[in-house]
Structure 1
Amino acid sequence: MHLPDLIRKCQSNNRKAQLHLYRKYCDGMFIVASRYLKNKDDAEDAIQEAFIKAFQKLEQFSGEVTFGAWLKKIVINQCLDVLKAQKQDFVEMEEDNIPEEPNWDWKVDENCTVGQVKNAIEDLPDKYRYVTMMYLLEGYDHGEISQVLEITESACRTRLMRGKGYLQQILKEKKYVTGY
């Protein structure tokens, strides 16, 4: 069944179509949720809630972006809501350790895997991790990130710059960065 047909059936509350759509996207969305929520149960709960919201708001899906991108935004927002509900305190690192203008003339070692870079991103403080993940891994722009995180675009740019600086520092410590 083609996706537009499946979505139309879901909009008319066809449970079989909803289950089909859920199965089609649940694994990928679980990976996204797991990037934000470290607890598997929290990630699974967030996915369930996100799908419920998606099915309730399916008439708002306009097709301007892919369905997967639209759903991913709902999943990320749900994960951030979970984090806010947990009253996640943002850990502040000594910002004196990061130069105001990080040296961007660096290259990741060719033996460094994407998984190792993702693991290094996991080591970032939350307020930098989420912006860096959304920008580098999810492909969101500053405007989208600032809306989702409810921060200014200026704060988003600053957090991304600092997040990249921390990332560079972490990768350097792990010997994954050259040309520093």
Structure 2
Amino acid sequence: MSKLKEILLINIRTDIDLFDVLFIVDGEEIKVNRTLLAASCVYFKAMLFGNTNEAKQSKIVLKSTPKEAFKKVIKFIYADECFIEDLAEEQLFELINLAHCYQFEELLKCLLIKITLENYSVDFNVALYDFCSKAQLKDWMNACLNYFDEIFVSEVNEANFAKFSKLLVCDLTARD
């Protein structure tokens, strides 16, 4: 990348005078650069430059968006990093769901690499598998199935098995 392009990208990310849209999420104001967000994923492009009410506004209230998940999305766009260590399981699930809703493939790929499913509860993994199955996130589904395979290699735990959804049991037993 040329020095000029690098400087331009840094300026777009850091110059607050270029932040031209304000999101309000759960009472918190988050000011961002409209163009940078639109370039990051299909959802923001449609919202901010499409034939929508939001495209004409400089202040957008997101009523049903989880604040911590939204802040992580913005941080990923601006810093190309996603720290998840500080998120509770519910917040992490909200982040995965939001990345999917936003059709933010790069963030989903980053999360899939960063998340070690063994560090999370069986309940979390069951909910994640069910969500990924409905959302047709094949790579995520495979990661979850591998996690459940590992559980059965070590021991069959009746309490854990009772937490499995019908869909998960069917998919686990249908494989070779």
- TM value normalised by structure 2: 0.33
Higher relative contact order (CA 8 A, sep 6+): 1
Of Structure 1 and Structure 2, which has the larger fraction of its residues in strand? 2
